[in-house]
Structure 1
């Protein structure tokens, strides 16, 4: 299916945010990165960069949610988790450790607005909106993992804690991998999380 110009710009913004962060991703860079017409910015995103960033967060979040839900549903918790981590590892390696997570970028990078003659301006309303979106995405990822654990018999309270742990560890470990320019931190995290998940599922009937 052919992507529209708007879709290309949203996906391109998500990619650049994963590599550069929020403030270093400009509208001009998105146009150049996606080879789309500069005049399309105002047409597709009348509210400017804040609107594009928000759409990019939603896009990135949904893409991961769909992929995670698919592998967990088809393969089960352990094999599905392993397949998901493999895709994250591949992404790191194929981008030479440039690409992290655009949602994490939003959570840690304070949006300062566009640069004017007076310098950068802090846009607190946009910052809060982006943080709310990032929170919604992280919550959705946790929910996907939570439901998968419950399908395999784990009680809700433990499943909730483990789902939070999985998302937190994987997101944090991707940052470690980028800094080390190595997938070793992710390999270690995967091994330990698989042990924790396997033991929790094995004890569910006790």
Structure 2
């Protein structure tokens, strides 16, 4: 069982989480969704579903933070904003509005222990750990955007507040798009966020 199999299962778990949430993403469903052997779970994830979900959170976060960090460093804050929004719009449209943000799914669900979990502290301890991971991902996205805004001349405090607004606005709007089965809410929020950033950046 190769590392390729492990990577496939992590990506598959992140995809299922974005569509169904955390608790509906069972070990069995991940195996079925990815076409991997059942024994892959115990081999690659000795901690069970808990470990698989943790790795999927980290994977999903990096799928956003990597391109976002690159674009903001190369082309500035506005390009980063557009890339952040385009990524979620593409995800929504390519999945027929079935997939949202797996990090948001972690943040809003209460984790239910799985029989495969190798965790003595129980579901509450796992829940707190998953929330910490989700918060770390959100904070990473905010920091990337905040750094880009500071490079545009904004104060650290204003850059931080605007970065928080961007992440919160887009994450919430992705949920609205799924409900509406339309990208229109995201397009409207994108327009207003661009106006806000342009005003903040251009302000003498």
Does residue 23 of structure 2 align to residue 8 of structure 1?
Answer: no
The CA deviation string for residues 177-201 of structure 1, in whole angstroms up to 9 with x for no partner, is 0000000100010001001110000
| Aligned counterparts of 1:140 and 1:52: Cα–Cα separation in 2 | 21
What root-mean-square deviation, in Å, do the aligned CA atoms of Structure 1 and Structure 2 show?
1.6
Would the aligned equivalents of 1:71 and 1:81 in 2 still touch at CA under 8 Å? no
TM-score normalized by the length of structure 2: 0.93
The answer for unaligned runs of 5 or more in structure 1 is 117-121
TM-score normalized by the length of structure 1: 0.92
Would the aligned equivalents of 2:80 and 2:145 in 1 still touch at CA under 8 Å? no
Tell me the CA shift for residue 3 of structure 1: 6.3
Would the aligned equivalents of 1:22 and 1:105 in 2 still touch at CA under 8 Å? yes
Would the aligned equivalents of 1:74 and 1:80 in 2 still touch at CA under 8 Å? no
State the aligned residue count: 198
Which residue of 1 is the match for residue 20 of structure 2? 20
The alignment partner of 1:62 has SS state of helix
Would the aligned equivalents of 1:17 and 1:25 in 2 still touch at CA under 8 Å? yes
| Aligned counterparts of 1:162 and 1:194: Cα–Cα separation in 2 | 11
Would the aligned equivalents of 1:13 and 1:52 in 2 still touch at CA under 8 Å? yes
Does residue 121 of structure 2 align to residue 147 of structure 1?
Answer: no
| Aligned counterparts of 1:113 and 1:77: Cα–Cα separation in 2 | 40
Show structure 1 runs of 4+ deviating over 2 A. none
| Aligned counterparts of 2:64 and 2:83: Cα–Cα separation in 1 | 13
Tell me the CA shift for residue 87 of structure 1: 2.3
Tell me the CA shift for residue 114 of structure 1: 2.3
The answer for unaligned runs of 5 or more in structure 2 is 117-121
Does residue 175 of structure 2 align to residue 175 of structure 1?
Answer: yes
The alignment partner of 1:4 has SS state of helix
| Aligned counterparts of 1:108 and 1:86: Cα–Cα separation in 2 | 23
